[in-house]
Amino acid sequence: MTKRFVAIWFRFLKTDWFVRRHPTLLTIPFVLASPDHGRMVITATNPLTEQEGIYSGMVVADARVIIPTLNVLDDQPGLPAKLLNGLGEWCIRFTPVVAIDLPDGLLLDVSGCAHLWGGEDLYLKQIVSRLKNIGYHVRAAMADTIGAAWAFARFGSGFEIIETTKQATALLALPPESLRLEAETVERLHVLGLRKIQNFINLPRSTLRRRFGEQFIKRLNQALGHEEEIIIPLHPVELYCERLTCLDPIVTRTGIEIALQQLLEALCKRLQQEQKGLRTACFKCYRVDGITIPVEIGTNRATFNITHLFKLFELKLSGIEPALGIELFTLDATKVEDVSTMQGQLWQKTGGLNDTGLAELLDRFTGKFGAKHIQRYLPDEHYWPERSFKSAQNLFEENTAGWKVERPRPLQLLSSPAPIEVTAPIPDYPPMLFRYKGTLHKVIKADGPERIEQEWWLQQGQHRDYYYVEDEHGCRYWIFRLGHYTDESYQWFLHGFFA
């Protein structure tokens, strides 16, 4: 497939943005300026001031000689990058590969995209007209190379489509500055009378390299297509990505579900063929008003089950507000893993962590209630109860230690032991009474003590003597004394509740 690129030039990027914010500026000559060595220097003009011969780099005082009523607004540092980033995000509806071309342009890799809009002419017209409707003065061109598209966007008619493999002939009539050369190199070319590309394109490359340097040859080769040029997109293109462009904007929940179903079928078919499954995915809806609505899901194990994935997305579709309509849907598999088909076992019980049904059930719980509400714990090699377990990284993480099951443990363990008041008869005897949160509990049954020491290699401190006690209401508690009974600093704590 032949590579095709579109270069977009926003001639009055910053001033157009000011007009969008303050429409009254549309009919007023104004400029943006910033201080430079004690003077106010113009950094951007609008069409009315440019027509009067005012240009960027001119001192404001000189410009007011031409237009005494000139309005001067303060420029904002970093504004071009912010504007181009937003415009680039918007252009993703036309192609997934959009790059910023500072200070005032965008570069689009549109290979294989134009047919979705009925051809290159309609495709480029759609881009230009949509940007003009937003409020920007736009010039654009399409060609086989980035260099040629850039050249014709700025030095051509403002809307040009260069036929495939015809860029060398088309570039002949353009000036040398259209090759993105340094100002010093352009000046030297003009001094030598080389005012058009056709004046030097057939000269020996060795002569041109010796006179104008390696960068000159590089730019020339890039424009002609003899040297590849790579652009860095705003968002890295996912390897597993599907796009669905809508002829008419979608405004209903049913339409969104149909689009999602089609994207899932296309994506999962690819994944299944390559024996892969997705772990995380993002479904994006690009609205007509320029707003993008993302919906993300995750799974506990790699899967290409269309029905299951649709159910996960379905839980979040109610948060999508179509407004005036959605014109583009994309589905990205942001994390993909290999899927190994497990052989079925006869005459054995099914289930366990490898059960697909369990993984899908947990996925639905996670999608509905949030990931923080679903936890799996593994034993950890520590003595103190609050350190004796850890959160599993995923559903299939294996145990590295065994659960201690020789003594009973409470169903609910407090994250921090709660101080209690205790009445006990003699050392090492279970408590007779204890007060917790203002309520007095009479101990009917008790067992203990179970001594648990601290790990000396972690910290120094007192040991704990745990007791299992039951009060008069049949409720069972896990309490402990910190330190020896004879120590003046000993304390009692409640640490857990039994079923």
Query: Residue 123's closest CA among 135, 137, 106, 111?
Result: 111
- Yes or no: say if 140 and 13 are a contact pair by the CB < 8 Å rule: no
Architecture of domain 241-338: 2-Layer Sandwich (3.30)
- The residue extents of the domains of the chain are 1-237, 241-338, 412-497
- Yes or no: say if 259 and 249 are a contact pair by the CB < 8 Å rule: no
Q: How confident is the model at residue 485 (pLDDT cuts 50, 70, 90)?
A: confident
Question: Would you call 144 helix, strand, or coil by DSSP?
Answer: coil
Asked if 1-237 and 241-338 have one fold, the answer is no
30-58: average pLDDT: 94
Element (H, E) at 362: helix 356-369
Its pTM surpasses 0.85: no
Tokens of residue 389, six digits: 């377990």
- The pLDDT of residue 346 is 44
Tokens of residue 311, six digits: 């159910």
Question: Would you call 109 helix, strand, or coil by DSSP?
Answer: strand
At the fourth CATH level, the homologous superfamily of domain 1-237 is: Reverse transcriptase/Diguanylate cyclase domain (3.30.70.270)
Q: Give me the count of residues in the chain.
A: 499
- Report the phi/psi class of residue 180: left, alpha or beta, with left for phi > 0 and alpha for psi in -120 to 50: left
167-185: average pLDDT: 95
Question: Is the pLDDT score of 153 beyond 50?
Answer: yes
105-129: average pLDDT: 93
Residues 6+ apart with CB under 8 A from 441: 433, 434, 435, 471, 472, 475, 477
Question: Is the pLDDT score of 468 beyond 70?
Answer: yes
